[in-house]
Chain A
Amino acid sequence: MSGTHHDLEEHGHEGVKPSAEAGRHAARIRAIEALLVEKGVLAEEDVRRQIEYMEANSPANGARLVARAWVDPGFKALLLSDTKAAALELGIDASGPVEFVTVENTPGVHNLIVCTLCSCYPRAILGRPPDWYKSMEYRSRAVNEPRAVMREFGLEIPEDIKVAVHDSSADVRYLVLPMRPAGTEGMSEEELAGLVTRDCLIGVSMPSFEGVRDSAARYR
């Protein structure tokens, strides 16, 4: 059995957070960076710029894309047909060989994103993924037990709604466009963006307004 099945029972939550070997690995990456700079393979500037770039991306970018799509049907169409172009319109640089696709939640479909093979995530837009997204447990169960997984996040999808899971197995990264909550008609775009959390963009949560988190109410 052990050769062909990845039984995770014994391993708990290892495999994401720094392990007992963290110190040794930290020393090695510092050594690697120093050597690469000494040899002219990388410039210190390359590394610094990359750190800054990563820190600049956050779920707030995703929230802005969603809020704009909620108020502007033309932008929503662009977001769904060409996410990179939509991001660029809002000053978010997601250029590169990786493609981005936004999947829309509707009254009939709820979307959930995972990368079972390695935890790929739309980093160029949203920044780094949360630890749980990278966990062996999420990578295993999001595909075969999506409703149970979402339940662990407090999200119950009604039985007549289809759950669509997307495994980012190749070079496309996914974002979820959640549905706009009822009762938000008078809100500004900025206020609307404030309702959209990172977890809504992955699919384990939905934007809530006035504490209405019951998904049955949201989908009616």
Chain B
Amino acid sequence: MTGVHDLGGSPGAGPIDKSQHETEDWERLADAVTVALDKRGIKTTDEHRRAIESLDPERYRKLGYYERWIAATELLLVEKGILTREEIDQKAAKLEERWG
């Protein structure tokens, strides 16, 4: 196997859960921001996939689909020097304070 994401034929895979969760607003936002950055030429789908594949295997398996997207988007924006983690931390804390 080449990485945690390379799942074809993985042993021990169980039955498929067919339930569907209601997409949350923050998931739509994650989708839209990721694609908007792509359309603006700031990052590519390939960089996005590479960033997701670089997540720690345990985190990869535990995080929700759009949580992986958010982790990847943050990783790339920091890597490209567009944002810093500290800025994101501070802004997240400020928004939390304001809106709860």
Contacts and interface: CB of A to CB of B under 8 A. Distances in A.
Q: Do A and B come from one complex?
A: yes
Interface of A: 4-9, 11-19, 21-22, 25-36, 39, 41-42, 46-48, 50-51, 54, 116-119, 128, 130-132, 134-141, 143-144, 149, 152-153, 167
28 contacts: A5-B11, A6-B7, A7-B12, A8-B12, A15-B61, A16-B64, A18-B21, A19-B64, A22-B26, A25-B30, A25-B66, A28-B70, A32-B83, A32-B91, A34-B95, A50-B32, A50-B36, A54-B28, A117-B5, A118-B52, A128-B23, A131-B21, A131-B65, A132-B17, A137-B13, A137-B16, A143-B8, A152-B18
A107 B54 CA distance: 43
A204 B31 CA distance: 25
A4 B67 contact: no
A146 B68 CA distance: 27
Given A16-B64, A35-B88, A117-B7, 15 more contacts: A8-B10, A11-B62, A17-B65, A18-B21, A25-B70, A27-B92, A29-B29, A29-B33, A50-B32, A50-B36, A54-B35, A117-B5, A137-B15, A139-B8, A149-B16
Contacts of A54: 28, 31-32, 35
Given A8-B12, A22-B64, A50-B39, A30 B20 contact: no
Q: Is the interface of B mostly helix, strand, loop or mixed?
A: helix
A152 B16 CA distance: 8
A118 B49 contact: yes
A9 B70 CA distance: 26
Interface residues of B, number: 59
Contacts of A136: 7, 10, 13, 61
A135 B31 CA distance: 18
A11 to B, nearest CB: 5
A35 B87 contact: yes
Contacts of B67: 18-19, 21-22, 25
Contacts of A152: 15-16, 18
B77 A32 contact: yes
A21 B10 contact: no
B61 A132 contact: no
Given A6-B7, A8-B12, A30 B92 contact: yes
8 closest residue pairs by CB, A with B = A116-B8, A26-B26, A140-B13, A31-B91, A31-B92, A140-B10, A50-B32, A13-B17
Q: Which of A6, A130, A136 has the most CB of B within 10 A?
A: A6
Given A15-B62, A15-B64, A137-B16, A33 B7 contact: no
B24 interface: yes
Contacts of B36: 42, 46-47, 50
